Amino acid sequence: MITTDLAIDIKNLNFCYPDGQCALKDINFSVNSSESVALIGPNGAGKSTLLLHLNGILRAQCDISVCGLRIEDRNIKEIRKKVGLVFQDPEDQLFSLNVFEDVAFGPLNMNYSETEIKRRVSSALQKVGMEGYEKRSSHHLSIGEKKRIAIATVLSLDPEILVLDEPTGSLDPRGKWSLIELLNGVAVTRIIATHDLELVAHLCSRTLILDGGRIVADGSTEDILGDEVLLKNHGLGK
Amino acid sequence: MKHSFIDEYSDLDSLIHKLDPRTKLVGSLAFILAVVLTPLNNWKVLTVYLGIVVILVLLSRLPLRYLLKRSLVILPFVIMVTIFVPFFNQGQVVFSYSLGFWHIDITYEGLSVLANVTIKSWLCILCLIILSSSTKFAGLLQGMYQLKVPLVFVQIMSFMYRYIFVLVDQVMRMQMARDSRNFGNNRKIVFKTLGNIIGMLFICSYERGERIYAAMLSRGYTGEMPVTHRLHFRLPDACFASAMFVLLVFPAVIWW
**A124 φ, ψ (degrees, to nearest 5):** -65, -45
Q: How many residues does chain B have?
A: 256
Of B158, B166, B215, the CB nearest to A87: B215
User: Would you call A98 and B138 a contact, using CB atoms and an 8 Å cutoff?
Assistant: yes
The distance of B148 to chain A (nearest Cα, Å) reads: 20
Compare CB distances from B222 to A85, A101, A109 and report the shortest one's residue.
A109
Residue A210: φ, ψ to 5°: -110, 125
SS3 A158: coil
Verify whether the Cβ–Cβ distance B166 to A91 is below 8 Å. yes
Q: What is the pLDDT of residues A11-36, one digit of tens each?
A: 999 999 888 888 999 999 999 989 99
Using CA atoms, how far residue A234 sits from A18, A41, A167, A208, in Å, is 26, 7, 21, 12
Nearest CA distance, B138 vs chain A (angstrom): 6
Contact A136, A171 (CB under 8 A): no
CB of A77 within 8 Å of any CB in chain B? yes
Parse chain B into domains and list their residue ranges: 15-255
Q: Which of B137, B159, B215 sits opposite A93 (nearest CB)?
A: B215
Is A83's Cβ below 8 Å from some Cβ in B?
A: yes
Is A50 an 8 Å CB contact of chain B?
Answer: no
Report the alpha-carbon distance of residue A148 to residue A94 in Å, rounded.
11
At residue B6, the pLDDT reads 66
Give the dihedral sign, CA A134/A138/A142/A145: positive
Q: CA–CA distance from A229 to each of A197, A214, A236 (Å)?
A: 15, 18, 10
Looking only at the bridges linking them, the beta strands covering A22-32 and A6-16 are antiparallel
What number of CA atoms fall less than 13 Å from residue A13's CA on the CB side?
28
Do the beta carbons of residue B42 and residue B123 sit within 8 Å? no
B102-107 vs B93-99, strand pairing mode: antiparallel
Q: How far is B77 from chain A (nearest CA, A)?
A: 30
Which residues, in sequence order, are bridge partners of residue A207?
A38, A219
Contact status of A75 with chain B (Cβ, < 8 Å):
no
Contact A165, A151 (CB under 8 A): no
Phi, psi (degrees; rounded to nearest 5) at A27: -90, 125
Query: What pLDDT, on the 0 to 100 scale, is given for residue B31?
Result: 95
Strand positions, DSSP E, B128-187:
none
Per-residue confidence (pLDDT) for residue B162, from 0 to 100 = 87
Is residue A158 within 8 angstroms of chain B, CB to CB?
no
The average pLDDT across A161-167 equals: 93
CA distance, residue B124 to nearest chain A CA (Å): 27
Closest by CA position to B228, among listed A24, A224, A106, A208:
A106
Contact flag B161-A97 (C-beta cutoff 8 Å): yes
pLDDT at A2: 46
> Alpha-carbon distance B23 to B185, whole Å?
53
What does residue A11 show for φ and ψ, rounded to 5 degrees? Answer: -125, 130
Give chain B's contact residues with A (Cβ, < 8 Å): 2, 5, 137-138, 141, 158-159, 161-163, 165-166, 208, 211-212, 214-222, 226-229
> Is A109's CB within 8 Å of B221's CB?
yes
Chain B residues with beta carbon closer than 8 angstroms to that of A101: 138, 228
Q: Tell me phi and psi for residue A94, to 5 degrees.
A: -105, 90
- CB contact at 8 A, B118 and B135: no
B220 vs A89, A109, A117: nearest CB: A109
Residue A66 host element (H or E): strand A63-66
Residue by residue, what is the 3-state secondary structure of A91-157?
A: HHHCCCCCHHHHHHHHHHHCCCCHHHHHHHHHHHHHHCCCCCCCCCCHHHCCHHHHHHHHHHHHHCC
A61 touches chain B (CB under 8 A): no
Residue B1, pLDDT score: 44
Q: How far is B214 from chain A (nearest CA, A)?
A: 7
The structural domains of chain A, with segments of one domain joined by +, span 6-225
Residue A207 confidence (pLDDT) above 80: yes
Indicate if the pLDDT at residue A3 is higher than 60. Answer: no
Residue A1 pLDDT: 45
Asked if B61 and B12 count as a contact pair (C-beta separation under 8 A), the reply is: yes
d(CA B178, CA B186): 13
Which CATH homologous superfamily contains domain A6-225? Answer: P-loop containing nucleotide triphosphate hydrolases (3.40.50.300)
- The pLDDT tens digits along chain B (256 residues) read 455 566 778 888 888 898 999 999 999 999 999 999 998 888 889 999 999 999 999 999 999 999 998 888 888 888 888 887 777 777 777 777 777 777 777 888 888 888 898 899 999 999 999 999 999 888 898 899 899 999 889 989 989 888 888 888 888 888 888 888 776 667 777 788 888 888 988 998 999 999 999 999 999 888 777 666 677 888 888 999 999 999 888 888 888 7
Q: Please answer yes or no on whether B162 and A154 come within 8 Å at the CB atom.
A: no
Q: What is the pLDDT of residue B185?
A: 66
Whole-angstrom distance, CA of residue A151 vs CA of residue A135: 17
Average pLDDT over residues A163-180: 91
Contact B162 A97 (CB under 8 A): yes
The pLDDT value recorded for residue A87 is: 93
pLDDT for the residue B14: 87
Residue numbers in B near A137 (CB within 8 A): 5
Nearest to B165 among A77, A85, A139 (CB): A139
Q: Are strands A189-194 and A36-40 parallel, antiparallel or unpaired?
A: parallel
What residues of chain A lie within 8 A of the CB of B221, using their CB?
Answer: 105, 109
